[in-house]
Amino acid sequence: MRYREYEQCRLCPRECGTDRYETAGYCGMKAGVTAAKAYLHQWEEPCISVKNGAGTIFFTGCSLHCCYCQNNAISRELFGAELSTAALSDIMLSLESDGADCIELITPTHFVPEIITALDSVKHRLSVPVVYNTGGYELVRTLRQLEGYIDVYLPDIKYLSPELSARYSAAPDYFEKAAEAVLEMIRQTGELRYDENGRLLHGTIIRHLVLPGGRHDSMAILDWIAENIPENKRLVSIMNQYTPFDFIPEDYPELHRRTSKLEYNSVVRHAQELGINGYIQQSGTSDSGYIPEFDLTGIAPENGIIR
């Protein structure tokens, strides 16, 4: 099937206009779903992982290219195998058969047309929620194509400061786009709704990673959430897993250390003062051991081309 959205790609805020049937877009990907791993992931938020883990599918490529990305192997180095939409559908069903408590699509935006095709084949057969895990840099018009397909949105809000988003992700308009996107996600999912096991069936969880030196920006994000999203329609996950990898360029000296306890705890306290509910992480999560090894597990590379 040929998708017109790939002919002049404007699926994400980069709106690069690339013909992805001919060459790769800003995301690094041509047309054709490419993924690096599919497995039961135990370390997501409790209402996502629940008992057996989230059935995660890690897609290759990304429209943000954050300089500190923990998934650098797939976001920038573009490791993965190309899949047909039929193979993607089969992976979703296989994950549920293995006991997945949800189907989690990680960094999926640049493959939305094919993901919709895959879900058209299996959504009616899935008995678990479909989760859309994104860096938050989204276009509302792309998200509207997903209405009815996605049960739970799991976006980041990484920055409020355009200076920070320009420096770390070359996206000075990040917060403008992420704020619009999150409000659209909230519109689609509505009030938080759980099953008897505490699994989130419908709703939006906003993630935020506290960066070293970034606690005041983190607090400003929490202020925006408290002012703009009703309490019964939001969960916030404040993450403490920033890891200073060797690949981070030397001209980002502030990123060559971990987020301090003082920085993280001050952001958590601010959330508590605002009455924001959700999740926090304990110390010790900023470790490369928590990062998946991208090895094509569950992807069946015999069905595709390893990049």
In the prediction, which pLDDT does 305 show? 45
In the prediction, which pLDDT does 199 show? 97
Residue 126 lies in a domain: yes
In the prediction, which pLDDT does 286 show? 53
- Is pLDDT larger for residue 23 or for residue 304? 23
User: How many CB atoms neighbour CB 267 within 10 A?
Assistant: 25
Q: What is the mean pLDDT of residues 49-66?
A: 97
Residue 306 pLDDT exceeds 50 = no
pTM of the model: 0.95
> What share of the chain has pLDDT > 90, as a percent?
92
Residue 144 lies in a domain: yes
Confidence class of residue 300 from pLDDT cuts 50, 70 and 90? low
What total number of domains does the chain contain?
1
In the prediction, which pLDDT does 235 show? 97
Mean pLDDT value across the chain: 94
In the prediction, which pLDDT does 307 show? 47
Confidence class of residue 76 from pLDDT cuts 50, 70 and 90? very high
CB 134, CB 32: distance < 8 Å: no
β-bridge partners, 278:
236
Residue 13 pLDDT exceeds 60 = yes
Task: Give the three-state DSSP class for 132.
Answer: strand
CB 129, CB 19: distance < 8 Å: no
- Dig out the tokens for 64 from the structure: 């943000």
Chain position carrying tokens 């058209």? 120
CATH code, domain carrying 278: 3.20.20.70
Residue 32 lies in a domain: no
Structural domain boundaries, residue 261: 37-300
Task: Give the three-state DSSP class for 66.
Answer: coil
- Dig out the tokens for 161 from the structure: 């400061």
Tell me the pLDDT tens digit for each residue of 224-244.
999 999 999 999 999 999 999
Residue 125 CB-density burial (10 A; 0-12 exposed, 13-18 middle, 19+ buried) = exposed
Residue 172 C-beta-side C-alpha neighbours within 13 Å: 1
- Dig out the tokens for 136 from the structure: 């938050």
Residue 25 lies in a domain: no
In the prediction, which pLDDT does 1 show? 87
Residue 140 lies in a domain: yes
Tell me the pLDDT tens digit for each residue of 91-111.
999 999 999 999 999 999 999
Compute φ and ψ for 293, nearest 5 degrees. Answer: -85, 120
Residue 113 lies in a domain: yes
> What share of the chain has pLDDT > 70, as a percent?
94
Tell me the pLDDT tens digit for each residue of 35-44.
999 999 999 9
Least confident window among 101-105, 179-183, 236-240, 287-291: 287-291
Residue 285 pLDDT exceeds 80 = no
Confidence class of residue 71 from pLDDT cuts 50, 70 and 90? very high
